A and B are shown apart, each in its own frame.
Chain A
Amino acid sequence: MNVFKQAKIAGLAAVLAVLAGCAGQVNQGGVDGAAGVDGSVTGAASDSASAFSAAEIAEFKASAMAADTLFFFEFDKSDLKPEALDDLDAHAKFLSADRNAKVRLEGHADERGTRAYNLALGERRANAVARYLVIQGVNRTQIETISYGEERPLSLTRDESGWERNRRVELIYQ
């Protein structure tokens, strides 16, 4: 996060400098200013060209591995809960930095309702996660989705405490 913040400030300063852009001194200052945070600027600037240093990728990877891989849903719903977004952002950052990384999203449902419907529901949940990752810069080809419907419950407890654990998408690195 820190890297991006710095880049933003530096970038913004540069833009302002160009816009103001008459006096050579100001320009010079701009360059000086940029030079002051040189390393991070180049790192961030090359983001769009998707070339991260190995150290950065490792850092993204570490935070992705630390992030949650289980995302839960309400009954008969497939919209992401707000609390899932930070963890998904961490996965997205790593996946978009390392195009060789691949994930499998397994959608699941609780046992209530009919099986074929739950299979469709599980898929919608997996797709909701996939769509969010793609928007965050992940290639669709890095993601594989599958639904198991209600066939693979995590919990066998037959009340809401069990069901809420079963209504999930599991993110699995391949």
Chain B
Amino acid sequence: MRRFIATGAAVILTAASSFSQAESVDAQGLRQAQGELLLQLEQLRQETQALRGLMEELSFQLQEMSQDQKQRYLDLDERLGELVRVQRDAQTAVSTAGGAPAPVVIGGTVSTASESNAPSVSDQDAYNQAFELIRAREFDQALNAMANFIQTYPDSPLVLDARFWRGQVFDVQGQDANAIEEFRNLTQLAPDYRRILQVKVKLGKLLVKNQDLQGGRAILQEVINQAPESVEAGLAQRELEAIN
């Protein structure tokens, strides 16, 4: 009996001591695990923050892009509308070209449609022919044809377009000085020309390219001031940033 009790006590003692030992091992392991968890938590936090940052940036970019897109669409729509209008005008002119224009009495003076500003059949045709040469990439011939057109129809509203395209062709050909002259003329002759912003951006770029930084900057800034919301203003801005 005594022996039994003694053995029992020994068992309990052993169990107790081994229990506390087990706990210490557990505590040690727990600490290590907690330490690892802490590091992992910190990593997770950092990752969450980085992801949040990325999400903030992406949603901002998306918002910017959709705004941009909308603006581009509106711009495109406007241009297309204009193109359609020009074509329609040209067609109307062609269809009425058969009969001699009837004299119109305005305020007691007699004038004819041919004297009005609407493009006559022939000037539209001549312009179209010249423009076809550009499309065919016959640049030298196109330059001549446009020059002829300007001489023959000095009063045609298409003269501005002819000048514009001459400038563009010069630019394509790398004749910067000529291109600059043509574009500059346009800005002076026709400040209200519908492509004036485009012209100015082109002119600005060419000036910058040809070391006239001050002139280039001034004209690009003009575009931004004149129509800050336009696509051209964006281009001008980019150009300005490239200089600085």
A–B direct touch in complex (beta carbons closer than 8 A): yes
A residues apposed to B, CB below 8 Å: 4, 7-8, 10-12, 14-15, 17-18, 21, 24, 27-28, 30-31, 34, 41, 44-48, 79-80, 85, 128, 131-132, 135-137
| Given the contacts A48-B24, A128-B42, A18 and B7 also touching, CB distance less than 8 Å | no
User: Are B7 and A24 closer than 8 Å at their CB atoms?
Assistant: yes
B residues apposed to A, CB below 8 Å: 7, 10-11, 13-15, 17-18, 20-25, 27-28, 31, 34-35, 38-39, 42-43, 46
User: Inter-chain contact count A-B, CB under 8 Å?
Assistant: 75
Knowing that A27-B7, A44-B24, A80-B42 touch, tell me 10 more A-B residue pairs with CB under 8 angstroms.
Answer: A4-B28, A14-B14, A17-B18, A18-B18, A27-B10, A47-B24, A79-B46, A132-B35, A135-B31, A135-B38
Tell me the interface secondary structure of chain B in the complex: helix
Complex: how many Å from CA A136 to CA B23?
15
User: Are A31 and B10 closer than 8 Å at their CB atoms?
Assistant: yes
* Residues of the A chain whose Cβ atoms lie less than 8 Å from the Cβ of B35: 85, 132, 135-136
User: Are B38 and A7 closer than 8 Å at their CB atoms?
Assistant: no
Quick one: which of B14, B25, B34 contacts A8, CB cutoff 8 A? B25
Complex: how many Å from CA A28 to CA B10?
8
Chain A, Cβ-Cβ closest to B35? A135
Complex: how many Å from CA A7 to CA B13?
17
User: Are A45 and B24 closer than 8 Å at their CB atoms?
Assistant: yes
Complex: how many Å from CA A72 to CA B198?
56
Task: Give 21 CB contacts A-B under 8 Å.
Answer: A4-B28, A7-B21, A8-B25, A14-B14, A14-B21, A24-B7, A27-B10, A27-B11, A27-B14, A28-B10, A30-B14, A30-B18, A31-B10, A34-B14, A41-B17, A45-B21, A45-B24, A79-B39, A79-B46, A80-B39, A137-B27
Tell me the interface secondary structure of chain A in the complex: helix
| Given the contacts A4-B28, A17-B14, A27-B7, A41 and B39 also touching, CB distance less than 8 Å | no
